[in-house]
């Protein structure tokens, strides 16, 4: 799978516009391929040129609430959803902003998305290139399954060692979510995800047919139930299923990713 066109995208907003956050985004850019993009939630209406100058790249993809409205991605959050009481819909339905990026940049085979609170030590570019030969339609730093679906060997089954005690999937689908199927019931942790172009196309069609839900449960379940390939980067022992030798370490909010986060 060499020479596969892959976009690496970091999702952010004005919170990283000042010096510390800006340096973090620029460091990401400097450690990725030329197909690195900043997906910027332009809540404050900044000029694109100013955003490009700030993050030292022309590869800026701007969006605002009008993009969600035009594409019918502005879904409300049900007040009784377990994870929805304090969230902005644009982040609760995290894959919706990713769909907006895809529609504005449809020419890649794969799409990595990082939240701006993910940091790394080591060779990030080499780490990501290491996954070029993993032909998964959806991959996330952590994905877990309700039962032992044998066609998804690189996804661990829920268990009591999770931070939720193995009860996470009991809350997904949640109030207001509308899944087409939970035949392959899965959940995930969303700070780092990768999609194939085909998976994003399928998620767009699901939204057009009024299927949507909290991204961390909706996306892996929807993709897997439709027969696409799903792979977790980490197993339930906090080891990489597809280990790299370049010793790149990934962190979320300053801590390593572990099974207890789930």
What pLDDT sits at residue 51?
97
What pLDDT sits at residue 247?
84
Question: How is residue 186 written in tokens?
Answer: 């899965």
Choosing among 3.90.550, 1.10.10, 1.10.3470, 3.40.47, the CATH entry for 6-261 is 3.90.550
What pLDDT sits at residue 2?
53
In tens digits, the chain (262 residues) has pLDDT values of: 456 799 999 999 999 998 889 999 999 999 998 999 999 999 999 999 999 999 999 999 999 999 999 999 999 999 999 998 767 888 899 999 999 999 999 999 999 999 999 999 999 999 999 999 999 999 999 999 999 999 999 999 999 999 999 999 999 999 999 999 999 999 999 999 999 999 999 999 999 999 999 999 999 999 999 999 999 999 999 999 998 888 899 999 999 999 998 9
Q: What SS3 class is residue 255?
A: strand
Q: In what order do the strands lie in the sheet with 255-256?
A: 118-121, 249-252, 255-256
What pLDDT sits at residue 204?
98
Q: What SS3 class is residue 161?
A: coil
What pLDDT sits at residue 28?
95
Alpha-carbon dihedral sign for residues 148, 150, 152, 153: positive
């Amino acid at each position: 799978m060499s020479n596969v066109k892959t976009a690496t995208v970091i999702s952010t907003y004005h919170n990283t516009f000042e010096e510390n956050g800006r340096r973090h985004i620029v460091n990401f850019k400097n450690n990725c391929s030329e197909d690195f993009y900043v997906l910027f939630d332009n809540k404050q209406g900044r000029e694109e040129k100013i955003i490009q100058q700030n993050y030292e790249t022309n590869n800026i993809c701007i969006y605002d609430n009008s993009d969600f409205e035009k594409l019918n991605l502005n879904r409300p959050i049900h007040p009784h959803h377990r994870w929805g009481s304090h969230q902005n819909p644009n982040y609760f339905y995290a894959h919706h902003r990713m769909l907006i990026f895809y529609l504005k940049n449809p020419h890649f085979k794969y799409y990595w998305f990082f939240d701006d609170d993910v940091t790394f030590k080591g060779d990030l570019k080499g780490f990501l290139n290491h996954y070029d030969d993993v032909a998964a339609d959806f991959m996330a730093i952590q994905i877990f399954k309700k039962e032992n679906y044998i066609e998804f060997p690189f996804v661990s089954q829920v268990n009591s060692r999770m931070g939720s005690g193995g009860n996470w999937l009991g809350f997904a689908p949640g109030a207001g979510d509308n899944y087409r199927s939970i035949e392959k019931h899965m959940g995930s942790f969303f700070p780092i995800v990768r999609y194939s172009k085909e998976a994003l196309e399928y998620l767009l069609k699901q939204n057009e047919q009024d299927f949507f839900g909290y991204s961390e449960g909706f996306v892996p379940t929807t993709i897997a139930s439709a027969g696409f390939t799903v792979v977790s980067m980490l197993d339930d022992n906090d080891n990489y299923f597809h280990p790299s030798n370049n010793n790149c370490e990934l962190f979320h909010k300053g801590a390593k990713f572990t099974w207890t986060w789930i």
